[in-house]
Amino acid sequence: MPSYQAVLFDFFGTLTRSVQRGAAHLGTAELLGCPTETLNEVLNRTYYERATGRFGNAEATLRWVCAQAGVHPSDRAVRAAVASRHRAVRADTRLRADAVPVLAALRQRGLRTGVISDCTHELPAFLPQLAIAPLLDVRVYSVQVGRCKPDAALYLTACRRLGLAPRDCLYVGDGGSQELTGAERAGMSAVRLAAPDLAEHMVFNADRDWRGPTLGALHDVLGLAGAAVVGMGVDGRAG
């Protein structure tokens, strides 16, 4: 079994349970004066453009989205919608029950841990309030790096911040954004999380041809990393 010095995780669908846009997103559409279906269509179609941060901050990005949807809300409405969207994405985010115990067990064994996530502006704003935050040595967000998976830049940024070579790192993800293929191309080992709830997960550009190792539950990574799980059952809603 390979010896790793760090385990790096995808966030949505990996450290969290499956994600779908919940009812809270309806309020964002209402504030913008945009039909929910239209807004969701634009959000889906432009995900990777937005996740690279190319349109500026959260407010500027939402203005651009509105233009794509054919609506032109006031400055006040856009500011309110940015706050509404932040709350909605946060409400969609539920950590897996074993996320905190797994990260804690890895760190107790001396391994470094981190997150590499394709995301828009909301995740960097609320992740520091989550129960996993103190257990992460590095956090790499596409919206800050300016690239999305499977671009090697995200994986190599994590390695650089940790002071490790890619071969020293194990990457764990559900397979969205061809992240597993990207991790291997960057020089890491990769494993897919295939938890049952992910059948309902909102995913873009899935790694459908992945033929590498697969785990049925997040805590199974401890076997690959040589760590023993300690005390499970933390929901993860912190702050």
**CA 148-152-158 angle, 5° bins:** 90
- Are residues 28 and 85 in contact, defined by beta-carbon separation less than 8 angstroms? yes
Tokens at 21, concatenated: 């846009």
Among 171, 183, 180, 170, which Cα is nearest to 206's? 180
- Are residues 101 and 218 in contact, defined by beta-carbon separation less than 8 angstroms? no
> How far from 83 is each of 62, 126, 157, 238, CA to CA, in Å?
11, 12, 29, 19
Give the tens place of pLDDT for each residue, 226-238: 654 444 443 333 3
Instruction: Tell me the pTM.
Output: 0.91
> How far from 9 is each of 28, 75, 212, CA to CA, in Å?
29, 37, 16
Give the tens place of pLDDT for each residue, 184-209: 999 999 999 999 888 887 777 777 78
**pLDDT for 168 beyond 70:** yes
Give the tens place of pLDDT for each residue, 26-46: 999 999 999 999 999 999 999
Domain boundaries of the chain, sorted by first residue: 6-19+94-225, 25-92
Give the tens place of pLDDT for each residue, 17-26: 989 888 889 9
Fold topology of 6-19+94-225: Rossmann fold (3.40.50)
Give the tens place of pLDDT for each residue, 107-152: 999 999 999 999 999 999 999 999 999 999 999 999 999 999 999 9
Question: What is the number of other CB atoms lying within 10 angstroms of the CB of residue 75?
Answer: 9
Tell which phi-psi region holds residue 131, choosing left (phi > 0), alpha (psi between -120 and 50) or beta.
Answer: alpha
In the chain, the DSSP E strands lie at 6-9, 112-117, 138-141, 169-173, 189-193, 214-215
Residues 79, 22: Cα–Cα separation, whole Å: 20
- Are residues 140 and 152 in contact, defined by beta-carbon separation less than 8 angstroms? no
Question: What is the number of other CB atoms lying within 10 angstroms of the CB of residue 70?
Answer: 9
- Looking at residue 229, its pLDDT comes to 46
Q: Is the peptide bond before 166 cis (omega within 30 degrees of 0)?
A: no
